[in-house]
Structure 1
């Protein structure tokens, strides 16, 4: 008898797949590759155009089948939130997000399981960062998960703690880490890619937006401090947030526009070139649920500076240079000291590069996939 694990992969064909789409893609490919004997993997997608179905089959080779719901994504999300549809029926289901058919079931009767994944708790901690519709949907789906999910996967123990402060899931929470995105590697065409993107010969790479909690403004403030090396910065994110613009904010801190390069929506190969070529990768977010960006920088042997957000400390395990966020304006001063130390101390930079490279080996999609299979087996 063959056991079928059905994974909800709808985010891959969403209008904006984003980080969740990458997670869904990379984890599902690994789950397929790690399929145990007498098991198989099917995918679940909402009603979509034929080209989207074909895309799923191309991006996820090895699928045993593709279940297509009768409702389109928007309608399916609303129906699942209210528990109004039985689609896709009983079975063993893994959801890379809260987008899942959470309803009453008894796995002791027919073996049905539903496991969902929570990537952050922004709907509770920073609702202003999301639309009111998204906040309501996430809060509603977590309530359903509390009632009906057989297990809830999170990427870090830090997020597990925060989730426990929001809702009581008992012993159903499981930590399954992330890993570098598929294709994040340096190829022979790296110099060509670097030239095309206009990368400086020396620079700092920083992900994020001008939203205060992301910490990019703190990095700009740090670079504007007296005595900090005038090194260029490559921002991996949008060039504006609300009515604030990156170059304008940089100039307010005394940073010349020619020191700022902004890149967004890079493919994995381009991103690898940017990160690997940086003097340091800075992850300054005040708050975090996972540390995938840090893991990616570690995998490319780039020295990492990061805030002391618990998720970052957990993922880094001392392989990066942690900077306490604290309160007030002191964070900018501490970032300035950390940046100066790495840029001016080649030995420190090399030590961090080696430590990060070693730490990156603790994370792989294969390991994550095997943990997912084991979790379903345990249930």
Structure 2
């Protein structure tokens, strides 16, 4: 009989196309189940969802001992937890892979088994609030302040995120750095050539992954690809749609003389196609002005793509010496510096080969098993 249950908030895990948070929660929970110490098990907490999503969770996480289903849907539960209205039945350990968590006053000193740990993936709601929808930014700040008051520990993916949060929240010694890892389902599979053909991937290209917002750095990269100093290979953008790219080109005043084949939007790709795009890329550019986990760089390195990245602290921390670094300071010259860095890899086969090797080695330093073991240790320490 199990003595201790860790209840994990399965935010967005059962969605047909899980968000980044959903994939993180899925992979971490799967690893927590696999690494559970003797006498411990893992249960799930989920907002009210369609039956198909419950079934998907059961299929993806067969080792869950129980799935607690709230009567409130995600929007209602987010509002209730923001204001401290809804608590969970019983007591015990709760781990939230995001700020979507039941945070309220509890007595951990006299009831050491009652504890709540939350995860904050980045500090953009504080440092770059305009990069998020206003409602999402406000909710994130509100929940972070509840975590400041009530969480027993706060997990962050990098020391850089911890440093950013320390500037705006009083978290004391409750911060624990536990990095994520690349999903094992990010795999190009055996049909790389046919999938590459279906995506119409050129022989050589630069790849970037992420939306167009205030911190992605994608606009600077598009400007780099459109300028006279641009490398003679196309830039492909995953996570950007054609209409968004057209609007960006207009907003950057690049429409006159812009060569449409110079930059292409690939839209949203499933994990297999994304893995193929990474694998075939001559360079993966990560121009983020601010970053949390550095996951795009980590994914690219794990699949052997040379990486060019900004000097955002989280990217320096994650990539170590496995990528070519581009300074962000001096925004006006940033596109040209990006173009020069990309060209340095495209024009130097030895450098590209060295980056591929160093990237694979660096990516192997991150694993979900390690993340799960550190998570169990954190709860044991509490």
2:131 equivalent in structure 1: 129
Q: How far apart, in 2, do the equivalents of 1:105 and 1:158 lie?
A: 29
State the 1:204 CA deviation.
0.6
Instruction: Extract unaligned runs of 5+ from structure 2.
Output: none
Residues matched between the structures, number: 379
Does the C-alpha gap of structure 1 residues 32 and 176 become closer, same or farther in structure 2, counting only changes over 3 Å?
Answer: same
1:295 equivalent in structure 2: 298
Q: How far apart, in 2, do the equivalents of 1:247 and 1:147 lie?
A: 45
Tell me if the contact between 2:15 and 2:53 (Cα under 8 Å) persists in the aligned partners: no
1:236 equivalent in structure 2: 238
Counterpart selection for 1:174 from 176, 179, 182:
176
Tell me if the contact between 1:122 and 1:129 (Cα under 8 Å) persists in the aligned partners: yes
TM-score (norm 2): 0.94
Which shows bigger deviation, 232-241 or 297-306? 232-241
1:282 equivalent in structure 2: 285
Which shows bigger deviation, 166-175 or 136-145? 136-145
1:314 equivalent in structure 2: 317
Counterpart selection for 2:152 from 135, 150, 153:
150
State the 1:327 CA deviation.
1.7
After the TM superposition, list the runs of 4 or more consecutive aligned residues in structure 1 that deviate by more than 4 angstroms.
240-243, 245-251
Instruction: Extract unaligned runs of 5+ from structure 1.
Output: none
Tell me if the contact between 2:225 and 2:262 (Cα under 8 Å) persists in the aligned partners: no
1:375 equivalent in structure 2: 378
Q: How far apart, in 2, do the equivalents of 1:306 and 1:192 lie?
A: 29
Which shows bigger deviation, 173-182 or 205-214? 205-214
Q: How far apart, in 2, do the equivalents of 1:304 and 1:182 lie?
A: 20
Does the C-alpha gap of structure 1 residues 145 and 212 become closer, same or farther in structure 2, counting only changes over 3 Å?
Answer: closer
Does the C-alpha gap of structure 1 residues 23 and 254 become closer, same or farther in structure 2, counting only changes over 3 Å?
Answer: farther
Which shows bigger deviation, 147-156 or 124-133? 124-133
Does the C-alpha gap of structure 1 residues 15 and 299 become closer, same or farther in structure 2, counting only changes over 3 Å?
Answer: closer
Which shows bigger deviation, 67-76 or 248-257? 248-257
Counterpart selection for 1:194 from 190, 193, 196:
196
Q: How far apart, in 2, do the equivalents of 1:133 and 1:338 lie?
A: 37
State the 1:24 CA deviation.
0.9
State the 1:32 CA deviation.
1.1
CA RMSD, aligned part only? 2.0
1:102-135 C-alpha deviation (Å, 9 max, x unpaired): 1111123331110000012222222222233222
1:117 equivalent in structure 2: 119
State the 1:164 CA deviation.
0.5
State the 1:335 CA deviation.
1.1
TM-score (norm 1): 0.94
